[in-house]
C-alpha cells in the first residue's frame, strides 16, 4: 500500500516538476527495491507496510544525521536541502508518540518486568520499543529509560 502510494506520488511530482520531491521519492523507491533484494525477494514484489515504513524511517534518520553533520561543518545550504527532503519523508511516516506517552509505557513495563537496576536496562528498552511498535523514536525512548534509573 505505502509502496504503491509512493509510486503514484512519483508520477505526481513529475507532472508538477517538483525536482526535490521527485528525487526523494525515487530514492525511496530504490531503497524499497534494495530492501526486497536484501531479503531475497524479487525486485518487482512489494514490501509490507511495516517494512516500507521501516525503510522510510531509515531514510529519515540518515537525513537527520546529515543535517547535524552539515550544520556542524558550517554547510547550511546542504543542511537546508536535507531538511526539505526530511519534510517530504515525514509525510509518509506515522505520527510519533509524545514523550509523556513513552514515559507512561516505560513506567508500566518497568513495573511489569520488575527492573530495578541499570543492568537490565536493555531488556526494558526492548520491551518499550516493542510496545510502541515503531511509533516512537529510539533516541527518545533511550532518554526516557535512562531517566528511570
For residue 121, name the pLDDT band (cuts at 50, 70, 90). Answer: confident
| Section 109-122 average pLDDT | 84
- What is the pLDDT at residue 26? 96
pLDDT at 146 over 90: no
pLDDT at 107 over 80: yes
Does residue 33 contact residue 42 with C-beta atoms inside 8 Å?
no
Does residue 141 contact residue 132 with C-beta atoms inside 8 Å?
yes
Residue 72 main-chain phi, psi, to 5 deg: -70, -25
For residue range 28-82, list pLDDT tens digits in order: 999 999 999 999 999 889 999 889 988 998 999 999 999 999 999 999 999 999 9
- What is the pLDDT at residue 14? 95
- What is the pLDDT at residue 13? 94
Instruction: For Cα atoms 135, 7, 138, give the angle at the middle one, nearest 5 degrees.
Output: 20
Which residue is listed with cell 511498535?
133
Looking at every residue in the chain, the average pLDDT score rounds to 90
Burial 89-116 (b: 16+ CB within 10 A, else e): beebeeeebeeeebbebbeebbeeeebe
pTM score: 0.73
Rounded to whole angstroms, the Cα distance separating 68 from 91 reads: 21
Domains and CATH numbers, the chain: 2-90 (1.10.1510.10), 99-147 (1.10.10.410)
pLDDT at 114 over 90: no
- What is the pLDDT at residue 33? 95
For residue range 123-145, list pLDDT tens digits in order: 888 888 888 877 887 888 888 88
Amino acid at each position: 500500500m505505502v509502496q504503491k502510494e509512493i509510486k503514484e506520488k512519483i508520477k505526481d511530482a513529475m507532472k508538477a516538476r517538483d525536482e526535490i520531491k521527485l528525487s526523494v521519492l525515487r530514492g525511496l523507491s530504490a531503497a524499497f527495491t534494495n530492501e526486497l533484494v536484501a531479503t531475497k525477494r524479487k525486485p518487482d514484489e512489494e514490501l509490507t507496510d511495516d517494512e516500507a515504513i521501516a525503510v522510510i524511517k531509515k531514510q529519515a534518520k540518515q537525513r537527520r544525521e546529515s543535517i547535524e553533520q552539515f550544520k556542524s561543518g558550517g554547510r547550511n545550504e546542504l543542511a537546508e536541502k536535507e531538511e526539505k527532503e526530511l519534510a517530504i519523508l515525514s509525510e509518509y511516516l506515522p505520527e510519533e508518540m509524545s514523550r509523556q506517552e513513552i514515559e507512561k509505557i516505560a513506567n508500566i513495563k518497568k513495573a511489569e518486568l520488575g527492573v530495578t537496576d541499570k543492568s537490565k536496562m536493555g531488556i526494558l528498552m526492548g520491551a518499550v520499543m516493542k510496545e510502541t511498535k515503531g511509533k516512537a523514536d529510539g533516541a527518545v525512548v533511550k532518554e526516557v529509560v535512562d531517566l528511570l534509573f
